[in-house]
Amino acid sequence: MKYIFPVTIFATLLSLIACKRLSDKYPSADKETKALSKIPGINAGAGRFTITAPPGWKNFDTTINGIKFRFIMAPRKYNVAFTPNMNILSEKMNGASLEAYFAGAKKGVSGMKDFEVIGTGRKELHGMPGMWMQYYCTSKSGLKMELIFTMFVADDIIYNVTMATAQGEMTRFKPSFDSVLNSFTLATPAPQPVR
């Protein structure tokens, strides 16, 4: 649980990687991200769910510095500067509460530049309790972003879902993000080739 702040920030920063379409090299494996990959229970839910992307969107798994992510990315034609995307990572909760994890996540991202909460709330997905927060922030490179961070719990595993767009574009992409999120099913997915 003590690592939830950097894990949440790492997930948010990965949304920035998608703005370059994952074509540039990933950030170097510095001490902090290497430490994150050693968190007991990190990746606990990787490979334990299926999720469906809208037609034409990319839907793939990747590992960055030992942390397993699922990425869902809109086609580049929508915004050449920042690709609207979702990423999902998971972690064993080890008996901690959803509320404690959510408070840690909120505290973790609140230090980002121009951080502003738009809204928070509770959401249930197929019987899994969850909490969400929508917020604005600005990346170190000056890109203004709008994000929705959602956490769901099942079998003592927390699934962290980050949806990201350039600021002002969330309303346009929220229906697509919601369709992806509503397709989330706990199961063993069939292998899919990365394209």
**pLDDT of amino acid 15:** 58
**Structural domain includes residue 194:** no
**pLDDT of amino acid 190:** 54
**Structural domain includes residue 14:** yes
**Structural domain includes residue 195:** no
Per residue in 9-26, is it b (16+ CB within 10 Å) or e — as a string?
bbbbbbbbbbbeebeeee
Among 15, 85, 19, CA closest to 57? 85
For residue 132, give its domain range: 4-186
Domain count, the chain: 1
Q: How far apart are CA 40 and CA 57, in angstroms?
A: 32
**Structural domain includes residue 133:** yes
Backbone dihedral region of 49: left (phi > 0), alpha (psi from -120 to 50 degrees) or beta?
Answer: beta
**Structural domain includes residue 50:** yes
**Structural domain includes residue 191:** no
**Structural domain includes residue 128:** yes
**pLDDT of amino acid 7:** 53
**Structural domain includes residue 28:** yes
**pLDDT of amino acid 179:** 97
**pLDDT of amino acid 6:** 44
State the DSSP string of 119-166.
EEEEEEETTEEEEEEEEEEE-TT--EEEEEEEEEEETTEEEEEEEEEE
Among 195, 177, 178, 179, CA closest to 84? 177
Among 24, 130, 36, 125, CA closest to 83? 24
CATH of residue 135's domain is: 3.40.1000.10
Q: pLDDT (tens digit, 0 to 9) for every residue of the chain, 195 residues total?
A: 444 444 555 555 555 544 444 434 444 445 556 667 788 888 999 999 999 999 999 999 988 888 898 999 999 887 777 889 999 999 998 888 999 989 988 888 888 899 999 999 999 999 999 999 999 998 877 889 999 999 999 999 999 999 999 999 999 999 999 999 999 999 865 555 565
